[in-house]
Homo-oligomer: A and B are copies of this chain.
Amino acid sequence: MTLAGVRAELVAVVLTADGDRLGVLAAGSPLHLPSGPLRTDHHSLQAGVRAFAQEQTGHRLGFVEQLYTFADLDRQAAGERMVSISYLGLTRAALDDGWQNVYRLLPWEDRRTDASSADAVLARLRRWARSGVRRERVAHLFGVDGEVWRPELALQRYELLWEAGLVGESPSAADVSELSGAAMALDHRRILATGLSRVRSKLQYRPVVFELLPETFTLGRLQQVVETLAGQGVHKQNFRRAVEQQHALVEPTGEMTHATGGRPARLYRFRGDVLTEREQAGTKLPIPRSR
């Protein structure tokens, strides 16, 4: 039995939504997500993430949540095993040169437009997936052949593309640089996909986007942020209905803004008790209403 020498590091997927663009903090070539060693002066992992993110990037993280811990052997360096604990962080910032556009790093995840880049990936995928099982998987993950597109499956889509050799870092990758955009270090694109999946999942049961919006906002702004994260347009009228019905989520401030280009819009703010992180969605089990 061989005990491993271990080094531990934190890796952060820091996202921000600026208009219709989704940004992630990453720098260098190949691109690295911000990361740093685990230190003893961090009270907790979360505190560690907040601290080094602020030090390295100058951005204060609002929402922080653990994603996944990686420690596969291929991350091992010189006899010491590397344990990477990845975190998702949301912050509010304008996209400058510290930020990368997520939808250039995972182009197939943006379905807001007519998705020409997605089509390119899909065409290559179809060639790879001739057999039944692969084909079903493609259909399920990419929402074709009668299946629906699910934004939150970003990680599984990445994994499928990796298997198919359609992202730059695949072992079997050939000429795919135009499909997956800029090179990313190690498995950082996978970690990014994990973060995107997570934030989209959270979006489903509660618009956990208040970290990405100013104090007050219009429903149109809120919808835009949601669409930016989901990578997909939503039905405007129904979106407002859903948000407004979700009592205890937002409330009108009473003020209006005229800066929308059309009819003036009511301003809203998130209600305080939303901040106490109400977790999780309704069950799908047929549970009796009574009792």
Contact = CB atoms under 8 A, between A and B. Distances in A.
Contacts of A151: 283, 285
Interface in A244-291: 273, 276, 278-288
A8 B83 contact: yes
A285 B140 contact: no
B6 A83 contact: yes
Interface string A153-166: 10010000000000
A8 B153 CA distance: 30
* 6 closest cross-chain pairs (CB), A and B: A238-B286, A69-B69, A2-B40, A4-B40, A204-B284, A235-B286
A100 B269 CA distance: 47
A13 interface: no
A38 interface: yes
A284 B287 contact: no
A133 B230 contact: no
Given A7-B6, A69-B85, A85-B71, A1 B39 contact: yes
Interface in A123-174: 133, 136-137, 140, 148, 150-153, 156
Given A3-B37, A83-B83, A235-B287, A8 B71 contact: yes
Interface of A: 1-4, 6-8, 37-45, 66, 68-73, 76, 81, 83, 85, 133, 136-137, 140, 148, 150-153, 156, 201, 203-205, 226, 230, 232-235, 238-239, 241-242, 273, 276, 278-288
A273 B6 contact: no
B83 A285 contact: no
A7 B230 CA distance: 38
A153 B43 contact: no
Nearest to A156: B279
8 contacts: A2-B40, A3-B40, A6-B83, A45-B72, A151-B285, A203-B285, A205-B284, A238-B286
